[in-house]
Structure 1
Amino acid sequence: MTAEPIKARTGLSAVWSRLRVEAASAAAEEPILASFLNAAVLRHNSFQDALIHRLAATLADAQLDNLVARDVVAEAIHADPAIAESAAADMTATDERDPACKSLLQPFLYFKGWAALQGHRIAHWLWNERRETLAFHIQSRISERFAVDIHPAARMGRGIMIDHATSVVIGETASVGNGVSLLHGVTLGGTGAKGVDRHPKIGNGVLIGAGASVLGNIRVGDEARVAAGSVVLKDVPENCTVAGVPAQPVGGRCAEPARRMEQTLRDDD
């Protein structure tokens, strides 16, 4: 069955309420971080305000100080409500799929895959506004800080988890659907030196394992699974598992691979 788009169950109000409770609990548990938690979460009136503060702190550098970065992020989030909605969905996806994640607070404060993805959402908005120089500046900042390189033009769905995240590369004409899970070292790369549609299109609910490379203008179908270390050079059908160099169909169908994070090649049927 094709994965459905992420829905309003990851609503901002529910995420915001839980995030505040977790921040208050963490502040009581670790008083040395209480000031930080208050600044990052508790003093804000909405998830959007807290997200603006967090991303500004993440993206600021010597060329783009915190106040200017805050203005840029706020402009994007106020102009496009989908940015905050997607950030909340990404947090919920990480909490649901990563067994090492114990709260929504963890990705919001500490997980570089989540932070890099939200920074990309700001860069992508700037790209669509034809502010390409600033979009590239933010892309560069994300790459320097988190070792994640997503071209500002790449299209990303929501409910995405980028686990560990180091060395993830996503090219200019790539697209990633809803509910996808990517592990560290994944490359969604292009073929050829001409500026044409040259990068992969990843469907909904796909799992791509660590170190896998998907190359060229090919499609990975909904709820497909790409094994770690694979090199994918041709289309992958829906609900199919591929592995190897070059990747070939193996094993059996894995139901909801991105959600279950099952990476052994077992047949679930």
Structure 2
Amino acid sequence: MNKHSHPNEAADLSSDVPLVTPQDPIWRAVRDDALAAVDRDPATAPMFDALVLRHTSLEDAVIAVLCSRLADAFWADQALCKLLHQALQKDPDIFQHLAADMQAVYDRDPACYRYVEPLLYFKGFQALQTQRFSYALWKDGRKDMALYLQSRMSAVFQVDINPASQLGGGIFFDHATGIVIGETAVIDDNVSIMQNVTLGGTGKEGGDRHPKVQCGVLVGSGAKVLGNITLGQGSRVAASSVVLDSVPPLATVAGIPAKIVSMAKPKGPDCMPSLSMDQTVPHERHVDSGSGI
């Protein structure tokens, strides 16, 4: 299965993107990728067998990969796998968006050529799935275990996502190093976030204090989005910007502090920047020169 012929090829990415992608076609693609890799290089057989081929579902393979990465002196590989399987049995919604996340990586990352790659090699995908477990544990009242997974995620993947943050499906963390997402942050479906992005608070205030990121948003590398503000649907934050106020839908903002530099058309090619992954800031302004956010 090549880059231009994948299980979700019938979806119209210029309009509404399915929130959940069926897992079976992607799982078959992952297994096919693994078998082809072993055929090309038999030395990889032990890894692909342990992490892919001996499993019967995509969620089981993800658990195996996470345990191989997150295990430490306190939680050995097998003990951690048992814990994650128990969490999955108690809350099957953990992997409600798993296949959509993998499809997002495949569709949006030009460096991803096979479905097996995010599963085994891409820490943004792996960190995202770790957070889904920590969120399930948090909801179940097991806050220490949730925080433990968060700390391991931060140490292993250099991605720090609070267990209480709420994440939708079809999310793509590109490169992912340095991503920080706070406790009361909410990220909707089909959002793309580049490396070194912070969705944080503005100080030591309590309560609802972190950003809300709506569907279709693209947050560029190094951007800081601070406070209980909203990035409107289809908006785009330019690299290294500092966003302190809510951003309207379809707006591109840039600068320190960020200002609106352009507005996309509702049905235009830039209405879902998270899918196009176009981080360039338009040169032509479509708002008054003195406009802010």
TM range (shorter): over 0.9
Q: Distance in 2 between matches of 1:201 and 1:147?
A: 22
> In the TM superposition, what whole-angstrom CA distance separates every residue of 1:17-70 from its partner, at most 9, and x where no partner exists?
111111101111111111110111111112222122122222211111112111
Structure 1 pair 82–6 and aligned structure 2 pair: CA distance change class (3 A): farther
Aligned AA (2:132): R
Question: In the alignment, which residue of structure 2 is the partner of 1:65?
Answer: 76
Aligned AA (1:251): S
Maintained 8 Å contact 2:157/2:177: yes
Question: In the alignment, which residue of structure 2 is the partner of 1:167?
Answer: 178
User: Larger Rg: 1 or 2?
Assistant: 2
Aligned AA (1:259): L
Question: In the alignment, which residue of structure 2 is the partner of 1:147?
Answer: 158
Q: Distance in 2 between matches of 1:61 and 1:239?
A: 44
Q: Distance in 2 between matches of 1:162 and 1:243?
A: 20
* Ranges in structure 2 where 5+ consecutive residues have no aligned partner: 1-13, 265-269, 287-293
Structure 1 position 6 matched with structure 2 position 6? no
Maintained 8 Å contact 1:4/1:204: no
Aligned match for 1:264, one of 247, 272, 280: 280
Aligned AA (1:76): A
> In the TM superposition, what whole-angstrom CA distance separates every residue of 1:165-184 from its partner, at most 9, and x where no partner exists?
11100001111110000000
Aligned AA (1:79): K
Question: In the alignment, which residue of structure 1 is the partner of 2:204?
Answer: 193
Structure 1 position 226 matched with structure 2 position 240? no
In the TM superposition, what are the counterparts of 1:13-24 in structure 2 within 5 Å?
A: 13-24=24-35
SS in 1 for 2:180: strand
Question: In the alignment, which residue of structure 1 is the partner of 2:251?
Answer: 240
Q: Percent identity, please.
A: 45
Equivalent pairs, count: 266
Query: Would you tell me which structure has more helix in proportion to its own residues?
Result: 1
Aligned match for 2:54, one of 43, 46, 49: 43
Aligned match for 2:67, one of 52, 56, 66: 56
Aligned AA (1:66): D
Q: Distance in 2 between matches of 1:252 and 1:244?
A: 16
Q: Distance in 1 between matches of 2:80 and 2:17?
A: 31
> In the TM superposition, what whole-angstrom CA distance separates every residue of 1:141-172 from its partner, at most 9, and x where no partner exists?
00001110001111111100000011100001
Could you tell me how far 1:97 is from its partner in structure 2? 0.2
Structure 1: 4+ residue segments shifted above 3 A: 2-8
> In the TM superposition, what whole-angstrom CA distance separates every residue of 1:182-239 from its partner, at most 9, and x where no partner exists?
0000000012313211100000110000000000000001111000000000010111
Aligned match for 1:100, one of 102, 111, 121: 111
Aligned AA (2:60): D
Could you tell me how far 1:77 is from its partner in structure 2? 1.9
Maintained 8 Å contact 1:55/1:73: no
Q: Distance in 2 between matches of 1:14 and 1:149?
A: 31
Aligned AA (2:18): I
Maintained 8 Å contact 1:12/1:47: yes
Structure with the greater relative contact order (CA < 8 A, sep ≥ 6): 1 or 2?
A: 1
Maintained 8 Å contact 1:59/1:119: no
The worse-fitting range, judged by mean Cα deviation, of 69-78 and 169-178 is 69-78
Q: Distance in 2 between matches of 1:110 and 1:158?
A: 20
Maintained 8 Å contact 1:6/1:158: no
Structure 1 position 204 matched with structure 2 position 215? yes
The root-mean-square deviation of aligned C-alpha atoms, in Å, is 1.6
TM-score (norm 1): 0.95
